[in-house]
Amino acid sequence: MVNSTNYHIPVLLQECMEGLDIKPNGTYVDATFGGGGHARKIFEKLNDKGTLFGVDQDEDALGNSWSAPNFHFVKSNFRFIENHLGLHGIQKIDGLLADLGVSSHQFDVPLRGFSLRANAPLDMRMNKSGAITAADILNDTAENDLYLLFRTYSDILHLGKLITNILRFRMSKPFETTKELVDLALLSAPKGKENKYLAQVFQALRIEVNQELDALKDLLEQSTKILKPGGRLVVMSYHSLEDRIVKNYMKRGAFDGKIEKDFFGNVLKPFTEITRHPIVPGEDEIVINSRSRSAKLRIAVRNEG
């Protein structure tokens, strides 16, 4: 069994295992397999009647998988997990883990275009066979839609200068590299907050390229269908947009945070939170893995019905 901490160091590993409350003969899904760190720990707790599915749309993750009768690697976006489980004859599972965001491997390989520190193709696709890159979005998106994109997926204020500079740049040549975007975005970045500003520009484009928030909503809605009563949903997010979606769904079963009731006034919610507040890494873990700093872990149990 291969597990690469160089690919991605698993964040809040023990807390995730406790949140899943793993049954040795249960069926589990790691929806973000990556380096296999979380998945390997889950698998170690299973007996030969337990089953684990590792899901990842990035073909690079396949190299971290292993061969076993009760382990299955699924190369797919996790928004299609219900269909893939059905193909394996699985209707219900005991636990689902999702560690959202970009893996250390994806950040560290310059050609993937996720890092603002390397001069690389402006790509940002988690699935390398995806049709749309970050360059495509910058080059082809209409002005009003660019405003909407950055306003929806970032906290950037005063977007006018950034959008104007994007439009002006692409009139002379198409965007091709991350350095071109970094140099241009720095022209509108607030002094002393350049890194945060650049990170938000890259985040917004990455979310749009990969349709990350829509995929997350699909995963959460499917978790309601595939988790057994008493099954555990364990989700780790890294920015406020993701965390708000996860929090609202776990608390109220709705992405907008509104409480739904049936005809008799009973609150309709598929989950009960195990933790009222998110679990965050301690200082010791942050020292070892600085990318864990922004992690927020939420855990919920599937209700009856």
Tokens of residue 152, six digits: 């929806």
- Count how many Cα atoms sit within 13 Å of the Cα of residue 3 in the half-sphere of its side chain: 14
Q: What is the chain's Cα-based Rg?
A: 20
300 forms bridges with which residues in the sheet?
Answer: 233, 273
Mean pLDDT on 283-300:
92
Above 50 in pLDDT, residue 3?
Answer: no
Q: Would you say the CATH fold of 110-210 matches that of 13-104+212-302?
A: no
Q: What residue spans define the domains of the chain?
A: 13-104+212-302, 110-210
- The confidence score (pLDDT) of residue 87 equals 97
Above 90 in pLDDT, residue 5?
Answer: no
Above 80 in pLDDT, residue 267?
Answer: no
Q: How far apart are CA 248 and CA 268, in angstroms?
A: 13
User: Model confidence over 107-133: pLDDT tens digits?
Assistant: 666 667 777 778 899 999 988 888 899
Above 60 in pLDDT, residue 6?
Answer: no
Lowest mean pLDDT, pick from 181-190, 214-223, 284-293:
284-293
53 forms bridges with which residues in the sheet?
Answer: 29, 72
User: Model confidence over 46-80: pLDDT tens digits?
Assistant: 999 999 999 999 888 899 999 999 999 999 999 99
Q: How far apart are CA 28 and CA 97, in angstroms?
A: 8
DSSP code at position 280: -
Between the ranges 117-121, 135-139, 275-279, where is the mean pLDDT highest? 135-139
The yes or no reply on domain 13-104+212-302 and CATH 3.30.565.10 is no
Mean pLDDT on 8-19:
92
261 forms bridges with which residues in the sheet?
Answer: 267
Which of 3.20.20.70, 1.10.150.170, 3.30.43.10, 3.30.70.2190 is the CATH number of 110-210? Answer: 1.10.150.170
Above 90 in pLDDT, residue 105?
Answer: no
Q: How far apart are CA 83 and CA 78, in angstroms?
A: 10
Element (H, E) at 221: helix 212-226
CA distances from residue 156 to 179, 207, 212, 242 in whole angstroms, order as listed:
20, 15, 19, 17
Lowest mean pLDDT, pick from 6-10, 26-30, 97-101, 137-141:
6-10
Helices (H), 109-193: 134-140, 143-153, 160-172, 178-186
Spatial neighbors of 168 by CB under 8 A, at least 6 apart, are none
- The confidence score (pLDDT) of residue 8 equals 63
DSSP code at position 249: H
- The confidence score (pLDDT) of residue 2 equals 47
Find out whether 96 and 27 touch, Cβ atoms under 8 Å. no
